Amino acid sequence: MLAPTALLTSLVVARVSAQQQPASTPWELACLHLGVVSSTATIFPWSRGYSAISEQNWSGTARAKPACIVRPENASQVQTVVRLLSRRRVPFAIRSGGHNPAPGAASIKDGVLLDLSRLDDLVYESGNKTVTVGTGNKWTAVYSLLDQHDVTVVGGRILDVGVGGLLLGSKSSPRADIGCR
């Protein structure tokens, strides 16, 4: 029976051999590790859809070609990925909607991109008039849901901007002091 480390190594070697893509940098090795041992969807440059997903940024200056794109579905997966990347000192960027135009903020070259678009819970509670909004949503989805209930929230004016980036980046709106609590 193979030891866990030997098994992981053989799986990584098998994946690299199959793709003809030798991993040589810490971020490439981290991508392969995530692709083998993580339940999080990991998209590689040779994967179908990589180009389209890597370029889903509002700003052209935020477009880069990351070593891989990781698309977690819940906070636990985000935590696992961030811990692994931090321990290995692998550079990464986090993208909610991709509206930050600063290079390296919503994408990254020579690193890993965490794409939070699958964290898209969106629930309106009519009893207490609250809404739970996942960071992967864009404002168009939030306002579309709330329009059905004739309510609104303090949020973004540009509908194609991501919820997470706007609230963490600015925390304010023209009509109120804060966008979330």
User: What CATH number does the domain containing 62 carry?
Assistant: 3.30.465.10
Is 149 domain-assigned? yes
Residue 181 predicted with pLDDT over 80 = no
Mean pLDDT over each residue of the chain, to the nearest integer:
81
| Same-domain status, 74 and 150 | no
| Same-domain status, 114 and 130 | no
| Same-domain status, 34 and 68 | yes
Long-range contact pairs involving 137-142 (C-beta distance under 8 Å, separation at least 24): 137/162, 137/163, 138/97, 138/162, 138/163, 139/163, 139/166
Residue 14 predicted with pLDDT over 50 = no
Quick: pLDDT tens for 24-77: 888 888 988 888 867 678 999 999 999 999 888 877 777 889 999 999 999 999
| Same-domain status, 83 and 99 | yes
Question: What pLDDT does 50 receive?
Answer: 93
- Tell me the pLDDT band of 162, cut-offs 50, 70 and 90: confident
Tell me which residue range forms the domain holding 36.
21-118
| Domain total of the chain | 2
Quick: pLDDT tens for 146-155: 999 999 988 8
